[in-house]
Amino acid sequence: MIKDLVNPTNFNLMVSKVGDVLVRALDKPLGYAINWGRVWSLWPVHLETACCSVEFGAASGPRYDVERFGIIEAFGSLRQCDLIVVQGTVTRKMAPRLRMVYDQMPEPKYVIAMGACAITGGLYIDSYNVLPGVDGIIPVDVYVPGCPPRPETLIQGTMLLQEKIKRSKIK
């Protein structure tokens, strides 16, 4: 009887249920602390898809300085990153690479679609090589409109994302 019950499927079920109980127990005391850590250390992947990267560069420069809001201009591995800013037009050649980069990032991960092209295709909506928006291939958290968005707009978008993270439950 007991031997029948002990199998990998049931073991996995039990582990996940114990995990659920643990998360529920820890959510209130620890959730605030964990989210606080996530909010103030967002590491973006350095993946430039089109021309909005110029304004992203300006935003990390000395005048706009996104680092004071906890967005670190990372030049490291994407295995350490948790934010992907899609900087503009996504073409048919770039789309599989974007998806691959997104899949390789560890959980939890957030996406900001920057610029009109990343939202709907923008100026290039009738071009033969451009995707009409990036939300067809990866889930988007915050849309930042503009062509290109001013650095202030990008900073406001990241602050909205931080609000979202603060209110979300830990996984």
Partner 1 sequence: MSDQEERISETTRLGLEIVKEAEEDRLMTLSVGPQHPGSGHFRFTVKVDGDYIVDCDPDPGYVHRGEEKMCEYRNFIQNIPHLERPVIHDSSNITYSYSLAVEELVKIDVPRRAQFIRAIASELNRQIYTLYWLAIYGIFLGHSTMFMWPTGDRELIIDLMEALTGARVTHAYNIPGGVRNDIPYGFKDRCLRQVTNFEKRLKEYEDIFYNNPLLRQRTEGVAILTKEDAIKLGVTGSVLRASGIPYDIRKAEPYDIYDEIDFNVQYLKTCDSFARAYVPLLDMRESCHIIRQLLDKMPESGEVRAKLQPNPKGPPGEAYRRVESGRGALGYYIVSDGTPKPYRVKISVGSFRNLLALPHLLVGSKLGDMPSVYWSLNYWPVEADR
Residues at the site binding partner 1, with contacts judged by CB under 8 A: 45-51, 53-55, 57-58, 60-63, 75, 78, 89, 91, 93-94, 97, 101, 123-124, 126-130, 147-148, 150
The smaller minimum CB distance to partner 1, of residues 94 and 165, is found at 94
Smallest distance, Å, CB 74 to partner 1? 9
DSSP assignment of 98-110 equals HHHHHHHSPSS-E
Separation CA 103–CA 84 (nearest Å): 11
Separation CA 65–CA 152 (nearest Å): 10
The smaller minimum CB distance to partner 1, of residues 117 and 142, is found at 117
Smallest distance, Å, CB 36 to partner 1? 28
The smaller minimum CB distance to partner 1, of residues 133 and 162, is found at 133
CB-based burial, 29-58: b 16+ in 10 Å, e otherwise:
eeeeeebeebbeebbbbbbbbbebbebbee
Answer whether 44's CB lies under 8 Å from 81's CB. yes
Smallest distance, Å, CB 58 to partner 1? 7
Smallest distance, Å, CB 50 to partner 1? 5
